[in-house]
């Protein structure tokens, strides 16, 4: 075993701070062609169940709050009975930031780290959860990212503005994990001042704080269209 492998093994056995997860499954699924993606079937169960199970089975996650639409709360509560780490199902807000705030507010006072996960990323893996939580334990904030493969260009009135070098560009995924006080303060400020944030780490960045990036996973896709659902099924079949 080389030095890098030894260091990785050591990180795996070092205890991390008490971490709670907020799984956000409150979207309207406007691009799913009438399919309710939260409950869309994937591998013989609702898609969101696979997401919750990944966090239920993670040794670095101690409790879970699920955020969903008001109309789905009874069904979600029924589904979550098989996941003992789920302490509450709550209704989402007017936008993602408000939904995340609602979920964070339902976590227990024991939480020191908060992992925020898209409910529509059902293929999130145990190693990805583990390394993101451990990075946040060390650095206060961490997100997974994967290299951008396509050439990226800006648009200006229907024409190409410029070609943006992609070597340093990353597509950001979830879970995004933060020190509890840091993300509470960042989201409170973003919501109060109606700041334009596109993900949870954006709120932290607007405070001038650094966010550690860890290696994401190609299969950790977000289900936003019926095609994405089919791609997820292909990934699952490839694992069998």
Q: What is the mean pLDDT of residues 210-224?
A: 96
Q: What is the pTM of this model?
A: 0.91
Let me know: does 176 contact 201? Beta carbons within 8 Å: yes
How far is residue 74 from each of residues 58, 70, 178, measured CA to CA in Å? 25, 9, 29
Model pLDDT for residues 187-210, shown as the tens digit of each residue: 988 888 888 788 999 999 999 999
* Top-confidence residue, 29 or 47: 47
State the DSSP code for 146. Answer: E
Nearest-angstrom CA–CA distance, 41 and 34: 14
Q: pLDDT at residue 7 above 70?
A: no
Model pLDDT for residues 18-29, shown as the tens digit of each residue: 999 999 998 766
3-class SS of residue 222: coil
Nearest-angstrom CA–CA distance, 84 and 111: 17
């Amino acid at each position: 075993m080389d030095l890098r492998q030894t260091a990785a093994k050591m990180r795996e056995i070092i205890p991390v701070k008490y971490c709670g997860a907020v799984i956000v499954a409150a979207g309207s699924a406007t691009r799913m062609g009438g399919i309710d993606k939260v409950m869309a079937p994937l591998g013989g169960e609702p898609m969101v169940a696979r997401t919750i199970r990944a966090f239920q089975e993670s040794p670095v996650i101690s409790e879970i709050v699920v955020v969903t639409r008001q109309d789905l709360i009874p069904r979600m509560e029924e589904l979550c009975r098989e996941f003992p780490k789920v302490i509450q199902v709550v209704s989402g807000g007017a936008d993602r930031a408000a939904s995340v705030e609602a979920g964070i507010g339902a976590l227990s006072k024991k939480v020191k780290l908060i992992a925020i996960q898209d409910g529509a990323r059902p293929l999130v893996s145990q190693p990805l959860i583990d390394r993101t939580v451990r990075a946040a334990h060390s650095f206060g904030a961490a997100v997974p990212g994967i290299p951008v493969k396509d050439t990226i260009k800006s648009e200006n009135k229907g024409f190409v503005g410029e070609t943006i070098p992609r070597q340093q560009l990353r597509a950001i995924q979830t879970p995004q994990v933060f020190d509890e006080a840091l993300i509470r303060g960042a989201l409170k400020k973003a919501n109060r001042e109606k700041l334009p944030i596109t993900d949870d780490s954006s709120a932290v960045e607007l405070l001038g704080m650094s966010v550690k990036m860890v290696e994401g996973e190609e299969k950790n896709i977000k289900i936003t269209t019926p095609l994405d659902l089919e791609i997820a099924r292909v990934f699952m079949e490839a694992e069998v």
